[in-house]
A and B are shown apart, each in its own frame.
Chain A
Amino acid sequence: MSKHARSLLPALAAAWLLVAPEARASAPGTYGMGSRAGALSGAVTADAADFSGCFYNPAGLVSAPGLELSLGYVYADNRLRINGKDNDVADVHGLMAGIVAPGKILSLPFAFGIATYIPDNGLSRIRALRQETPRWELYNDRPTILFLSVHLAVRPLPWLELGGGLAFLAATRGRFGIRGEADVLSPYDSQLSHEVDADLTSIRYPIAGARVKLGRLGYLGVAYRGQTKLDLALQANLEGIVDFAGVDVPLRYTLETRTLDAFQPQQVVLGLSFQAVPRLRANFDLGWVNWSAYESPTPRTSAHLEAEPPPGVGVELPEDPKPVVIVPPAFQDRFVPRLGVEYVLAFGAERRVSGRDAPAKAVEIPLRAGYAYERSPVPPQEGPTNFVDADRHTISLGAGLVLNAPFSVLRGALRLDTHVALSVLPERITQKANPADFVGDYRADGTMIAGGATLTASF
């Protein structure tokens, strides 16, 4: 076993040297799904048998010891700065919850899992900014979006687990129109009718994975998360007659805007979980993130105002907004390494625990640590765009308390996991190529402190 481990070390070392970073997407991708995964810096692709598998690798769900209900909370304090001044990037906080229900169909082990992240400062936030406006592109709005995923997992062979399902986001398409006659001097005499037609469309993208048992060594896992984005389209029409003290002015205004937000690139993650030493797990993930497919969130807007003011009235109609020439963001694909270690201290008398083959001590205290490095996919912003970003180093720590079979009605375990993670974004200097740039040179850096707790009841 140690021989196998030794043989893998050179490969791991080579992979480590080749890496250049993974992905930030929704809150689970940025701050972790559940405290156990958060404490391991997300290095759980081959070691996610709880609800976090709905994000990291659904194949692991089938290894859940029993029906599990989890509820957690995460809070991330973002302190992102440009030129040394805090940009007030939103803190991210919300509930994480999930259910894993394993069972058997015709002796085939399977599991159903559902997980969600519900931000508690709004279910979804989308902003459309000019491409010249500086913004922390990957951190400001993207994590503040509801995440929901539903999965099935099976174990067709004793050494193979497969899982997959869908994750959901919501997109908006809308239209509103106003027609009628408006009296400027007597607004209450205006006769206007309006209509609103909006669709909230669910956006689905796949998450799938597989896990292979490597004998007593542990597991090898691979997971795929599909590409997705939110599409916001809005069409507005204003048509009518404006009454200026008896002078009727026909007026027509049309607006169409469309923007993309919360683009999440597809990604493939390969994970190893060494479990050869009792009570010790060492996990390593290497993810590939297809950031080069990133689409510009710059809104495409067209507007036109038609009016026929009476002759001699010095009313100046605004020009139509000029069409925006969108600069391709040209993000770059990245590899992201993640490392996590977990060691479990055990105390008390041994008990039989539902879903576990061997008896376990009454109390277990898992201790966890992790590290992840995400190199920025954003190219140097020398041109007109200002997608602010920097590399990200994350160090995480965590601990848990597991009470095995604590009550007669709870034959499984009651588990409380906590974690804290510090992300450091080293300073990145942007120097503009055009001396007439309106934003000019700047330096960006920051820190993030995330923490949370997850309570899991295993029945």
Chain B
Amino acid sequence: MRTGHAGSFLLALALLAGCATLADTETGGENLPNAAAGPFRALRTGELGNLRSAPNALEDDETFPRDPALLDADGDPTTPAVFGYFSMTPEVPGEDPDPTAPPRAIVRYGAEDGRSFDRMPLVVLTPEAPWEGGTVGAPSVVRVGDEVYLYYAAAGGIGLARSLDGGVFARIPGPVLGPDASGWEAGAVPRSPGVVVLDDGSFRLFYEVPGPGDAARIGEARSDDGITWTRVGDGPALTPAPAGEGAEPPYDGAWLGAPAPVLVRSSEGRPILRVYYAARDTLGRAVVGLAARFDPGSAMPLERAVSPVFGSGSSLGPHEPCVLVRPGHTLLFTTQRAGRTKSANYPAVAAGVAPADVSLPAP
């Protein structure tokens, strides 16, 4: 008798248990923290307007605008509009466009959505001074009070031009940072500047120093006014990573340069100076790397991220990066080949975003 009732109870249990195996959807991955420092995914179709073809936010097979630098159009990071400053090679009547020719102008494009550049370039700087050697490029722009400072690379070093409207620039005579024969730079011409204004109003300049051999390193200088610069330390701020014990060579083991500094704060309010840079490993593979330090105004060494932030596994050779920090995400712009086909073998400006799962507002 008892056994019979127990059997009924067991049957009820089995029937209930049989209903209990529906699959659940994946959970636990909502609202995860992300420093929006990288890795960046390339922008996709639909994320760029102005008839731009993702991921290329800017592409011109005649003047080859490249080497981007971004400036918030109104100084308010909550509004999307930006100005982009680029190196370019003006067309020469009667000559075929040469994507390998040195840049001979800096142009400005606008992007209302912060990433899709218009088709109305404004030439803001061309080589004039003898020390520039007929080339200006690799711009870096910062807003200083009511002015816009435009740093650029030229044959004799790094120059500065200033503007009140971001369109008409007046040069500071001579390079603001020239070669230094006495130190570790061994007289190499600094190039590819990246400038950031710290919270105390002082300036930090990171720049590429070619050598030794085919390598390059990144140097650092400080300034109180953005005009007079003093080199920081007696060595590079960042050098190619030594080969480790792993089978894979370090992603920046052969060459690094084209620094692009940016000031951010962690979610706990700790100030961080990030320096994005172009890198190559000993196999010639190019990526964009990241190094950073707390206490931006200090001389603390830069610490590398654990992996590249853009370009891994790609043959497009990204270099000359710059970033635009927005609430909740960061946009990366970098020069790389316009495409993988033979006809697209010229520089264009590709765009990426971090975190990778962010949904960008419509262009």
Which chain A residues have a beta carbon within 8 Å of chain B's beta carbons? 67, 69, 71, 81-83, 85-90, 94-95, 97, 99, 116, 118-123, 125, 127, 132-136, 140-141, 144, 314, 316, 318-319, 322-323, 325, 384, 386, 409-410, 429, 431-432, 434-443, 457, 459
- B interface residues with partner A (beta carbon < 8 Å): 1-2, 5-6, 9-10, 12-13, 16-17, 19-24, 26-35, 37-39, 246-248, 266-268, 270, 272-274, 290-294, 302-306, 312-315, 340-342, 354
* CB-based nearest B residue for A144: B24
Chain A residues near B24 (CB, 8 Å)? 90, 121-122, 125, 144
**Shortest Cβ distance from A426 into chain B, in angstroms?**
17
Is the pair A442, B342 in contact by a Cβ cutoff of 8 Å?
A: no
16 contacts between A and B (CB under 8 A): A71-B9, A71-B12, A87-B31, A88-B31, A121-B22, A121-B24, A133-B32, A319-B312, A409-B2, A436-B274, A437-B305, A438-B39, A438-B305, A439-B35, A440-B35, A441-B33
Residue from A116, A120, A434, A440 in contact with B19 in the complex, judged by beta carbons closer than 8 Å: A120
Q: Contacts A87-B32, A318-B313, A322-B248: A436 and B268 contacting too (C-beta < 8 A)?
A: no
Q: In the complex, are the beta carbons of A314 and B37 less than 8 A apart?
A: no
Complex CA gap A319/B12 in Å reads 55
B32, B34, B312, most chain A CB atoms within 10 A: B32
Known pairs A440-B37, A441-B268, A442-B267; list 17 more (Cβ under 8 Å).
Answer: A69-B9, A87-B32, A118-B21, A120-B21, A134-B33, A135-B29, A136-B28, A144-B24, A314-B340, A409-B2, A409-B5, A410-B5, A435-B294, A436-B274, A436-B305, A438-B306, A440-B33
Q: Is the CB–CB distance between A384 and B306 below 8 Å?
A: yes
Q: Are A87 and B29 in contact (CB under 8 A)?
A: yes
Tell me which residues across on chain B come within 8 A of A86, comparing CB atoms.
30-31
Residues of A contacting B: mostly: loop
Given known contacts A71-B12, A125-B24, A318-B313, A82 and B246 CB-to-CB distance under 8 angstroms = no
Determine whether the beta carbon of B31 is less than 8 Å from that of A82.
yes
B33 touches A94 (CB 8 A): no
Residues in A whose Cβ lies below 8 Å from that of B313: 318-319
Complex contacts, A120 vs chain B, CB 8 Å: 19-22
**Top 6 nearest A-B pairs by Cβ distance?**
A440-B35, A121-B24, A85-B31, A120-B20, A88-B30, A435-B292
**Which B residues are in CB contact (< 8 Å) with A409?**
1-2, 5
B2 close to A429 (CB less than 8 A) = no
Closest to A134 in B: B32
State whether A69 and B29 are in contact (beta carbons under 8 Å apart), knowing that A97-B17, A409-B1, A431-B270 are contacts in the complex.
no
Query: Cα distance A133–B30 when bound, in Å?
Result: 12
B27 to A88, Cβ gap below 8 A? Answer: yes
Chain A residues positioned under 8 Å from B9 (CB to CB) = 69, 71, 457
Closest to B312 in A: A319
A432 to B293, CA, bound (A): 11
Give min CB distance, A365 to chain B, whole Å.
Answer: 23
- Interchain Cβ contacts within 8 Å, total number: 159
Q: Is the CB of A82 within 8 A of B33?
A: yes
Report yes or no: B20 in contact with A119, Cβ–Cβ below 8 A. Answer: yes
Complex Cα spacing A220 to B327, Å: 58
Contact with A434, one of B27, B303, B312 (Cβ below 8 angstroms): B303
Task: Determine which residue in A125, A133, A325, A439 has the highest number of CB atoms from chain B within 10 A of its CB, and name it.
Answer: A439
Question: A132 contacts which chain B residues (CB < 8 A)?
Answer: 306
In the complex, chain A residues whose CB is within 8 Å of the CB of B19: 120
Known contacts A85-B31, A88-B28; A95 and B38 CB within 8 A of each other: no
Decide: B13 and A127 in contact? CB cutoff 8 A. Answer: no
Q: Cβ of B33 and Cβ of A89 under 8 Å apart? A: no
Asked if B341 and A314 make an inter-chain contact with CB atoms under 8 angstroms apart, the answer reads yes
What's the least CB distance linking A134 to chain B, in Å? 5
CB neighbours (8 Å) of A95 from chain B are 13, 16-17, 20
Once bound together, how far apart are the Cα atoms of A120 and B16, in whole Å? 10
- C-alpha gap A439/B268 in the complex (Å): 12
**Cα(A99)–Cα(B266), bound, Å:** 54
Contact in complex: A436, B290 (CB < 8 Å): yes
Q: Are A442 and B33 also in contact (CB < 8 A) when A118-B17, A120-B21, A140-B27 are? A: yes
Q: How far is the CB of B355 from chain A (nearest CB, A)?
A: 8
A459 and B34 within 8 A (CB): no
- Whether A122 and B1, one on each chain, are in contact in the complex, defined by CB atoms closer than 8 angstroms, is no
> Is the CB–CB distance between B31 and A441 below 8 Å?
no
Task: Give A125 to B9 CA distance when docked, in angstroms.
Answer: 29
A429 to B315, CA, bound (A): 40
Give chain B residues whose Cβ lies under 8 Å from the Cβ of A87: 28-32
From known contacts A94-B20, A441-B267, infer whether A316 and B6 are also in contact, taking CB-CB under 8 Å.
Answer: no
Contact residue among A88, A97, A325, A432 (Cβ-Cβ distance under 8 Å from B29): A88
- How far, in Å, is B303 (CB) from chain A's closest CB? 5
Question: What is the minimal beta-carbon distance from A311 to any residue of chain B, in angstroms?
Answer: 13
From B292, B306, B354, name the one whose CB has the most chain A CB atoms within 10 angstroms.
Answer: B306
Pairwise interchain contact A71-B31, C-beta atoms closer than 8 A:
no
Contacts of B30 in A (CB 8 A): 85-88
Please indicate which of the listed interface residues A116, A119, A437, A457 has the most CB atoms of chain B within 10 Å of its own CB.
Answer: A437
> Could you tell me if B33 and A69 are in contact, using CB atoms closer than 8 angstroms?
no
A144-B24, A431-B270 as given contacts; A82 in contact with B37, CB under 8 Å? no
Given contacts A67-B2, A459-B6, contact A90 B33 (CB under 8 A): no
Assuming A90-B24, A122-B22, is B13 touching A97 (CB within 8 A)?
A: yes
The answer to whether B27 and A83 touch across the interface, beta carbons within 8 angstroms, is no
Question: In the bound complex, do residue A69 and residue B6 qualify as a contact, i.e. CB atoms below 8 Å apart?
Answer: yes
By a CB distance below 8 angstroms, the chain A residues around B248 are: 322-323
Closest-CB distance, B336 to chain A (whole angstroms): 13
Q: Is the CB of A67 within 8 A of B267?
A: no
Closest to A69 in B: B9
Q: How far is the CA of A94 from the CA of B354 in the complex (A)?
A: 38
Contact of A438 among B34, B247, B272 (CB under 8 A): B34
Complex formed: what's the CA distance from A384 to B307 in Å? 11
Q: Which of A82, A436, A440 has the most chain B CB atoms closer than 10 A to its own CB?
A: A436
Q: Which residue in chain A gives the minimum CB-CB distance to B341? A: A314
Which of A125, A386, A440: most chain B CB closer than 10 A? A440
A431: chain B residues at CB < 8 Å are 266, 268, 270
Complexed CA–CA distance, A443 and B304 (Å): 24
**Nearest Cβ in chain A — how far from B228, in angstroms?**
28
